[in-house]
A and B are shown apart, each in its own frame.
Chain A
Amino acid sequence: MVQWTAGERAAIQGVFAKLDYESVGLESLTRCLVVYPWTQRYFGGFGNLYNAEAIMANPKIAAHGTVVLKGLEKALKNMDNIKNTFTALSELHSEKLQVDPGNFQLLADCLTVVLARRMTTDFTPDIQAAWQKFLSVVISALRRQYY
């Protein structure tokens, strides 16, 4: 089981407290699709993904960004049992969506960059460490049902 220190819990709660799910979700997904354009393979039906401006204005991407952040919130609310909480989501990503799990890290990195932009110097190295640990636990849980 993942061990969280009190400091790590506080750090992650603190990040979520200031999080605008819609805005952060949209920008993170946009950066992912721009910085790692091969990830666009999963968004064939989403309409105009031509450039960053178009993606940022795309309502389907915005909606999906929120879905992703709501998923992370689920992990936050079940921090001591993320592995089991994400069983269904893991199956969804592997069996139905068939997402290469390597992509989870790419989106995670974009989420981290977006947080850094929003929080600037409040995003201290310790908070970054806690946040990235949280994301790697989520990623590990999402990878679990792949075989």
Chain B
Amino acid sequence: MSLTAKDKAAVTALWAKVSGKADEIGHDALSRMLAVYPQTKTYFSHWKDLSPGSAPVRKHGKTVMGGVGEAVSKIDDLTSGLLNLSELHAFQLRVDPANFKILSHNILVVLAILFPIDFTPEAHVAMDKFLSALSLALAEKYR
């Protein structure tokens, strides 16, 4: 299920509209992930505060969306483009890749909340495919 030219165009167009709110998207998606899928909290035992609005959640939401933005710019070759990030996740963070799907779902939910008009079915499918491809690239170095 690779990204077609149409998918890439849709993702790039949507990103242009939403990237201004990237920090907010990241913060909200992460908050929702921690609230709706409490098992994900196990990766953040080193944070003092996991509540929505807290400094670590805001900061990390920003970091995550920075990665998504980088992926958009490297949409033509995600696997090579995200090698460093993949190594980070595989060897240092060791996040179970099943969780990428969970965060992706919450990013889609937040996009639907903040951009109800722009998040058409066409944008939805393109974004879902892109986040899946991103997750796959991120898992590249795991084994």
- Interface residues, chain A, CB within 8 Å of chain B? 30-31, 34-35, 52, 109, 112-114, 116-121, 123, 125-126, 128-129, 132
Please, how many angstroms separate the alpha-carbon atoms of A52 and B108 in the complex? Answer: 18
Once the chains bind, are B36 and A129 in contact (CB under 8 Å)? yes
**Dominant secondary structure of chain B at its interface with chain A:** helix
Q: Is B31's CB within 8 Å of the partner chain A?
A: yes
Number of A-B contacts (CB under 8 A): 53
Q: Is B52's CB within 8 Å of the partner chain A?
A: yes
Q: Which residue of A lies closest to B117 (CB)?
A: A117
Residue from the list A35, A118, A125 in contact with B124, Cβ < 8 A: A35
Within the complex, the shortest CB–CB distance from B58 to chain A, in Å, comes to 14
Mark each residue of chain B from 25 to 41: 1 if its CB lies under 8 Å from any CB of chain A, else 0: 00000011001100000
Residue from the list A52, A117, A126, A132 in contact with B112, Cβ < 8 A: A117
Residue from the list B35, B121, B122 in contact with A125, Cβ < 8 A: B35
CB-based closest 5 A-B pairs: A125-B35, A52-B121, A116-B112, A117-B116, A34-B121
A35 touching B128 in the complex, CB below 8 Å, given contacts A125-B32, A128-B36, A129-B36: yes
Please, how many angstroms separate the alpha-carbon atoms of A76 and B114 in the complex? Answer: 28
Within the complex, the shortest CB–CB distance from B14 to chain A, in Å, comes to 14
Q: Is B8's CB within 8 Å of the partner chain A?
A: no
